């Protein structure tokens, strides 16, 4: 049995030793310290860049089949260590154990998928424009990649980047969220075991700003792949301009969930529960705005409220718990601010609406009715367990409301009408649409947004391209 509990960064196949400069990682469920973690900065980041650059020379020339085998093994190991990984997730992130086990499987699926895609990295032969020549198109790894990931899915947001990057032949420096670095460290233990060569996957955790600047100013780093807030994404894009890095940004969302008058309400409520309250509302594809046709508004809220009352809030290891704590005090403050603002502007509470009696970072699952477009919940991502319910009268109005946001990540709608299905799916300004489905994330489909939710796609056949450059080769002098 491997020990997955590490508390330090991983560079060039080595676990950093110096423990003089550390910072605490807390369990959001009880404010207890889970571990002290080495705080890295510019110096360690430089070392990681050198290591990744050095390792690139060999890794990019390995056979796709060899890279595929290593990635497949890494994913298998995740499943062998599923329980241990899930426990680390619960401790540092707070999600219920069942969700944590789900995240491990989801995270591992990216290794399986990209182990397969690595082998199908085909180029093109194009009918040529000139006699005695041939045109070929090949795909090459972009080189050293920097990945910056958030705390809401501490494993899956990492594997979604590292699996395609390594499949393409790139090497990586990962800066995980300083709030949840332990899951990333555990992943590195398994990387070693799977046979990922030294320097191919490096982790630097600590001072985000310093690490970020060092990665971004380096000419050796050719690409940045970021998942996090839109504000940080904009900053990172500006920083990436100086060295013209290739970029992929998966940023904030403000997902609408439209329930038309002909919808199967029971199914819509099931979808709403899964999409809104998963991870205590802390996912970028969580519903932020429910638009309910006025004819079914009251029935929908009644059914939703009955389900919300069944949710069990508590510590992630407690049996039957479905709602963990929020990640930190800032998250609680934002949830409360959105609710207070909605109440001041004409909304009312159906259920919840205040901190949970467990105290700390626990908050009651909440439904707000009579929401309107003036409220903060209409325009900002709440990132918490708050369902704001708006009503609408026509399809055109629903679309206009749904699109009235700077974000464009995911959208959901429920209807049985075929004509409406196609029209609405086309009108929605988003990267992903769930129709009569509340959960859309999978390794086999392209995940990503439009507008200020970013660009680039993760997972699917498109996910590999984010880590590749296309090369056109004109071969002349032929017979």
Active site residues: 250, 284
Report how many residues bind ligand ADP under the rule CB under 6 A: 13
> Which listed residue (235, 349, 440, 445) binds ligand ADP by CB under 6 A?
235
Q: Residue 152 Cβ, how far from ligand ADP at the closest point, in Å?
A: 7
Part in contact with ligand ADP (CB under 6 A); list of ranges 170-178, 298-306, 308-316, 389-397: 170-178
- Give 23-75 as a 3 state SS string: EEEECCCCCCEEEEEECECHHHHHHHHHHHHHHHHHHCCCCHHHHHHHHHHHH
Q: Are strands 287-293 and 386-392 parallel, antiparallel or unpaired?
A: parallel
- Residue 229 lies near ligand ADP (rule: CB under 6 A): yes
**162 and 176 in contact (C-beta within 8 Å)?**
no
Q: Which is nearer to ligand ADP, 94 or 141 (CB)?
A: 94
| H helix or E strand, kind and range, residue 231 | helix 230-241
In angstroms, give the least distance from the CB of 467 to ligand ADP: 19
CA-to-CA dists, residue 352 to 148, 339, 363, angstroms:
34, 10, 8
Report the residue number, 103 or 112, with the smaller CB distance to ligand ADP.
103
Q: Are 110 and 160 in contact (CB under 8 A)?
A: yes
Radius of gyration of the CA atoms of the chain, in A = 23
Residue 315 binds to ligand ADP (criterion: CB under 6 A): no
Q: Which of 179/437 has CB closer to ligand ADP?
A: 179
Considering the complex, what minimum distance in angstroms separates the CB of residue 247 from ligand ADP? Answer: 13
Q: Does residue 221 sit in helix, strand or coil?
A: strand
Q: In the bound complex, what is the minimum distance in angstroms from residue 213's beta carbon to ligand ADP?
A: 7
Question: Which of the 8 DSSP states describes residue 313?
Answer: B
Residue choice 25, 85, 118, 148 for contact with ligand ADP (CB under 6 A): 148
Q: Does 408 bind ligand ADP (CB under 6 A)?
A: no
> Nearer to ligand ADP by C-beta: 77 or 156?
156
229 or 404, CB closer to ligand ADP?
Answer: 229
Paired tokens of 423: 């029209």
- Is residue 181 at the binding interface for ligand ADP, with CB under 6 A as the rule? no
Beta strands in 199-353 (DSSP E): 201-203, 221-227, 246-250, 255-259, 287-293, 348-351
Q: Per rule CB under 6 A, is residue 68 in the interface with ligand ADP?
A: no
Binding mask 198-217 for ligand ADP (x = CB under 6 A): ----------xx--x-----
What distance lies between CA 274 and its chain's CA centroid? 16
Contacts of 291 (CB under 8 A, 6+ apart): 256, 257, 258, 259, 390, 391, 392, 398, 401, 402
How far is it, in rounded angstroms, from Cα 118 to Cα 172? 16
Of 265 and 361, which has the nearer Cβ to ligand ADP? 361
Q: From start to end of 100-220, where are the E strands?
A: 124-126, 134-141, 144-148, 171-175, 201-203
Give min distance, CB of 252 to ligand ADP, in A: 8
Beta strands in 265-409 (DSSP E): 287-293, 348-351, 366-369, 386-392
Residue 178 lies near ligand ADP (rule: CB under 6 A):
yes
Per-position x/- string for 410-449, each x denoting binding to ligand ADP as judged by CB under 6 A, each - no binding: ----------------------------------------
Part in contact with ligand ADP (CB under 6 A); list of ranges 33-41, 145-153, 267-275, 422-430: 145-153
Q: Which is nearer to ligand ADP, 149 or 315 (CB)?
A: 149
Among 228, 256, 314, 325, binds ligand ADP (CB under 6 A): 228
Two tokens at 175?
A: 């800066």
Q: Does residue 42 touch ligand ADP according to CB under 6 A?
A: no
Question: Among residues 177, 248, 254, 441, which is the contact residue for ligand ADP, using CB under 6 A?
Answer: 177
Q: Which residue is nearest to ligand ADP (CB)?
A: 212
CA separation for the pair 274, 286 (Å, rounded)? 9
244: left (phi over 0), alpha (psi -120 to 50) or beta: left
Distances (CA, A) of 315 to 279, 303, 309, 359: 13, 26, 17, 11
Q: Which stretch binds ligand ADP (CB under 6 A): 117-125, 225-233, 253-261, 411-419?
A: 225-233
Which chain residues interact with ligand ADP by CB under 6 A?
148-150, 175, 177-178, 208-209, 212, 228-229, 232, 235
């Amino acid at each position: 049995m491997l020990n997955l509990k590490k508390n330090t960064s991983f560079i060039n196949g080595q676990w950093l030793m110096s423990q003089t400069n550390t910072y605490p990682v807390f369990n959001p469920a009880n404010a207890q310290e889970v571990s002290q973690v080495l705080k890295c900065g510019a110096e360690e980041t430089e070392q990681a860049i050198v290591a990744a650059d050095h390792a690139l020379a060999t890794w990019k020339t390995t056979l796709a089949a060899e890279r595929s085998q290593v990635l497949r093994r890494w994913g298998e190991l995740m499943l062998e260590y599923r329980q241990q990984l899930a426990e680390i997730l619960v401790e540092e992130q707070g999600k219920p154990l069942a969700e944590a086990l789900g995240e491990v499987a989801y995270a591992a699926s990216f290794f399986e998928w990209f182990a397969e895609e690595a082998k199908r990295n085909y180029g093109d032969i194009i009918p040529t424009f000139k006699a005695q020549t041939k045109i070929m198109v090949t795909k090459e790894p972009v080189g050293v990649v920097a990945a910056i990931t958030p705390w809401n899915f501490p494993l899956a947001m990492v594997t979604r980047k590292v699996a395609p990057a390594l499949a393409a032949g790139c090497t990586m420096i990962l800066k995980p969220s300083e709030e949840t670095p332990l899951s990333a460290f555990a992943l590195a233990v398994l990387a070693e075991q799977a046979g990922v060569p030294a320097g191919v996957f490096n982790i630097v955790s600590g001072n985000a700003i310093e690490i970020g600047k060092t990665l971004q100013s380096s000419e050796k780093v050719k690409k940045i792949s970021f998942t996090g807030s839109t504000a940080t994404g904009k900053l990172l894009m500006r920083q990436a301009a100086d060295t013209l890095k290739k970029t992929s940004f998966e940023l904030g969302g403000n997902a609408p969930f439209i329930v038309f008058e002909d919808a199967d309400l029971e199914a819509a409520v099931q979808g709403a529960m899964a999409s809104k309250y998963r991870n205590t509302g802390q996912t970028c594809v969580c519903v932020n705005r429910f638009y309910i046709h006025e004819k079914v508004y009251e029935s929908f809220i009644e059914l939703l409220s009955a389900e919300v009352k069944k949710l069990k809030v508590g510590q992630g290891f407690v049996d039957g718990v479905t709602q963990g704590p929020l990640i930190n005090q800032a998250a609680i403050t934002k949830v409360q601010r959105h609710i207070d603002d909605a109440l001041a502007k004409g909304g009312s509470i159906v259920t919840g609406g205040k901190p949970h009696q467990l105290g700390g970072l626990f908050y009651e699952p909440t439904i707000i009715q009579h929401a309107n477009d003036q409220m903060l919940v209409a325009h900002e991502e709440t990132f918490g367990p708050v369902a704001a319910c708006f009503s609408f009268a026509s399809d055109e109005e629903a679309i206009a409301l749904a699109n009235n946001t700077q974000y464009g990540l995911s959208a959901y709608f429920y209807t049985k009408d075929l004509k409406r299905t196609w029209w609405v799916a086309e009108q929605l300004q988003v990267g992903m649409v769930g129709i009569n489905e509340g959960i859309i994330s999978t390794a086999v489909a392209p995940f990503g947004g439009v507008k200020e939710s970013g660009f680039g796609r993760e997972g699917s056949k498109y996910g590999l391209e984010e880590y590749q450059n296309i090369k056109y080769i004109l071969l002349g002098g032929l017979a």
